[in-house]
Structure 1
Amino acid sequence: MKVEDYDFHLPEELIAQTPLLERTSSKLMVLDKETGEIEHRHFYDIIEYLREGDCLVLNDTRVLPARLYGMKEDTGAKVEVLLLNEEGQDKWKTLVKPAKRVKEGTVITFGDGRLKATCLSMEEQGGRVLQFHYEGIFYEVLDSLGEMPLPPYIKEQLDDQDRYQTVFAKERGSAAAPTAGLHFTNELLDDIRSKGIHISFITLHVGLGTFRPVSVENIDEHDMHAEYYSMSQETADLLNDVRAKGGRIITVGTTSTRTIETIASKNDGVFKCESGWTDIFIYPGYTFKGIDAMITNFHLPKSTLIMLVSALAGRENVIAAYENAVKNEYRFFSFGDAMLIINRRHQE
């Protein structure tokens, strides 16, 4: 299976640079995963496609303001640091630019010395392990000094940092937002609950590997990045109950999908309270064991995300849908429009 099979033409002007004023006003493409039929709606219509007894699964990860701008303490040279994974005791795996300026022992200072970091070790491709020093609470210092690490295809400044957080964001740890969840408001979630539809939460901390291109020619040679996930006992019990009663499990985003499928695959379709690291790579040929439908955004050409979507709805259906989205000027990527992939025959 070739990476080129997941390419499509995307005009640059369709890459959404800023979020819409109203979260729920984005377009919604409804794609029948069996027939490939398409409907054009708005996201606030999503409730029409959900039925009593279904369960939405949302990722409650919270994006860290993980981009820091500092300078070398000895020379004053400017350094940019992106936090990736916390290793405990104030040690973090990071990406540093320009990496050549930061060697073992280099001290970087941020915000007039309110936060400092010492380089403990050097890794490939700009990776550095940094030991942070500060007074008070680290995340409060980070909130005051850091910036949201917007994806590289977004060139505009974000005026309201909260627009790159879901309204249900809770567990700190992501380098990027689970963007399918950005379309929901608390009011819409209340309306969904009032219809008898369950809402549950998992956590998957999105890593920068989300934006890493597939650099191999054959898909099955790609090494997937690992991300931390967790599912509570409450969520596991709810999902098992929904499945037993014939309800549908509908994931919001590829991150929720990867978490659900990781757990369901390990436990013969049963959900359990657990946490760990997943590097599951879902592409056509994969048999889904946990989900019935998915809400997602429109993804990068030749990315692992469009491959995951194609595993659920079929490559031909997805590529045709994307071409339709381009024709109808849908907005793409993080701040873009949404797609619901569902089996319409099972709608009623």
Structure 2
Amino acid sequence: MSGIQIENLVKTYGDNIAVNGLNLNLEKGKVYGFLGPNGAGKSTTMNIITGYIGATGGTVKIDGYDIFKEPEKAKKRVGYLPEIPPLYQDMTVKEYLVFVTELKKIPAKEKMKNIKEVLEMTKTTQVENRLIKNLSKGYKQRVGIAQALIGMPEIIILDEPTVGLDPKQIIEIRQLIKELGKNHTVILSSHILSEISEVCEYIFIISRGQLAAEGTEKQLVEQMAGENNLELEIKGDKDNVKEMIESLEDVFEYEFAESETENIVRLKIKSDRDVDLREKIFYICAENDLPIMEMSFKQKTLEDIFIELTKDYAAPEKKIRFKKKKDKQEEEDNVSDL
């Protein structure tokens, strides 16, 4: 079986659970994103996949090879860039890559061809004879990616590859990752949402060592957004505004907010994602002589979903819940049961 299969993966450190029953299936030929806050278990999972550390329980198979039972065969299929690149600062770039080819047991006749290829891919040919310690942070990251590419493994794993880079360097590394995705399966771990959104085709959201959600960005938004949010400031009496809002069938939840201005009612309204209430509210406010002072419409984004899935559990705020359609259906069901 090709790709990576992770089943019921567990990693504990004493009483601390870093990875908790994680199940993932990664097919070949995509750029995957591991998205989660710091401490979510992303780096631990990466280290287990690559064989750097063991697991407390579960299995990890790479192209069918168990990383714990057949580590040599599994590791040959993976190139890895840790968050801190494993660079020898007093070597030149070329010397370091020769050293990596020896570690990876690349046949002697293929070494220089392989090195030339990864230098070109990472655009580091111009610095191949410079000492690594004299390179910029961006070039050091490129050299780190180059060492991961030695041997041309099918799977490239990059853990927080743009941390500490300036904006220009970040753009360059992201473009390099996209290029790698054309011929390799790439796994990118990051807590930076914009990076995952821009580079990755498929996203795993990790929280507290578990899989919180997965899918393309479009799928995640469509499946989990679930609602539209409308914020309003209406000039008028609060009771009149409340009566008006409750006359709208498509409102399933609303709440009032404090207003610093007298005779101005502030509120938030929620409706199904496929319902846009702006036009209805405009006309009903006009009919009831209630001027709209401000109206803002918002659909949930991937950022909203990420925050919601990874936030600490907290007591929910008290809200007025208005579910006319559902309550009516429940009444009909109760009658039919009599």
Shorter-chain TM-score range: under 0.3
Structure number with bigger Rg: 2
Q: Which has the higher contact order (CA 8 A, sep 6+)?
A: 1
Normalised by the length of structure 2, the TM-score is 0.26
